């Protein structure tokens, strides 16, 4: 049996036992909900999975990629990433430049003045989320600061750090499985729509000073912290007092399964 099957099978078995014990009332004296125990188990499993991979992994090839603007004045970039470490930031004078451990596949099209780029992990294994513990994967991407862009990030069991503060991202879509997310939103992009959908995730999201925000978080099994001094709560929405008139603002919607969410 594959190690991944053993690890996730053990997690599911333990989750079922804990739910049964709670339903029977045996956990009432602990003073905690079983869901406060379950979501950290997912991260423990991911950690074990990645540690196994780091011990089994052999020599890793690193690929570099640099893609010119070729006259593009806007971009649509989609990143389909499996598991590992993903870093995205600004600072490129090209459309994109970066380094990719374990390789990358990409397609680039130009429609009028829009560049449409898709990056994806090579399809060489069939483990959950498209990654094998024998493979180390680290991607470091730098994107162009000047042109407006739509950015989509789809990841599995991963550690993702997206520093978008200097980027002109007008729409950000994130879909992830069991992951750790650290996101800094654009500071001067005008208006940015942000949509985040996660399974078992820990997410820290920062809204730069001077940027207004409207925030909605859905996830009954998640622990949520929003800076209410900056974003007072109004019913089920957290919103800056000057949101409607702000020159730079973000509209955030987070849908999460199990995890912790922090927005400040």
Q: For 248-258, write each residue's pLDDT tens digit.
A: 999 999 998 77
Give tens-digit pLDDT for 20-72.
566 556 666 666 565 556 555 665 665 555 555 544 544 567 899 999 999 99
pLDDT for res 127: 45
pLDDT for res 84: 86
Burial of 109 (0-12, 13-18, 19+ CB in 10 A): exposed
Write down the pTM of the prediction: 0.76
pLDDT for res 59: 52
Burial of 253 (0-12, 13-18, 19+ CB in 10 A): middle
H or E element, residue 11: helix 3-23
Give tens-digit pLDDT for 6-16.
555 565 566 66
Banded pLDDT at 260 (limits 50, 70, 90): confident
pLDDT for res 231: 97
Q: What is the mean pLDDT of residues 73-78?
A: 98
Name the more confident of 39 and 1: 39
Give tens-digit pLDDT for 216-244.
998 766 688 999 999 999 888 999 999 99
Give tens-digit pLDDT for 113-134.
999 999 998 864 444 444 444 4
Give tens-digit pLDDT for 134-164.
456 899 999 999 999 999 999 888 899 999 9
Give tens-digit pLDDT for 157-199.
889 999 999 999 999 999 988 788 999 999 999 999 999 998 8
Burial of 28 (0-12, 13-18, 19+ CB in 10 A): exposed
Name the more confident of 259 and 23: 259
């Amino acid at each position: 049996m594959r190690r991944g099957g053993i690890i996730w099978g053990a997690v599911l078995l333990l989750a079922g036992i804990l739910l049964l014990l709670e339903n029977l009332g045996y956990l009432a004296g602990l003073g905690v909900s079983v869901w406060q125990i379950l979501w950290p188990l997912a991260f423990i499993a991911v950690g074990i999975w990645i540690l196994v991979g780091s011990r089994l992994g052999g020599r890793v090839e690193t690929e570099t990629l640099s893609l010119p603007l070729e006259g593009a004045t806007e971009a649509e970039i989609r990143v389909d990433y499996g598991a590992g470490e993903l870093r995205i930031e600004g600072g490129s004078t090209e459309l994109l430049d970066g380094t990719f451990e374990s390789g990358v596949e990409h397609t680039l099209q130009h429609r009028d003045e829009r560049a449409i780029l898709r990056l994806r992990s090579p399809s060489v294994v069939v483990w959950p989320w498209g990654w094998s513990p024998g493979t180390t994967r680290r991607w470091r991407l730098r994107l162009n600061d000047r042109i407006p862009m739509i950015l989509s990030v789809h990841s599995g069991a991963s550690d993702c750090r997206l520093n978008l503060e200097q980027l002109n991202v007008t729409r950000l879509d994130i879909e992830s499985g069991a992951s750790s997310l650290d996101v800094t939103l654009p500071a001067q992009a005008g208006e940015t729509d942000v949509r985040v959908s996660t399974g078992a995730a820990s997410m820290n999201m920062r809204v730069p000073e001077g940027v207004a925000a409207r925030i909605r978080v859905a996830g009954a099994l998640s622990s949520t912290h929003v800076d209410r001094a900056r974003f007072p709560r109004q019913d089920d929405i957290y919103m800056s007092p000057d949101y409607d008139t702000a020159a730079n603002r973000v509209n955030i919607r987070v849908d999460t399964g199990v995890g912790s969410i922090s927005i400040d």
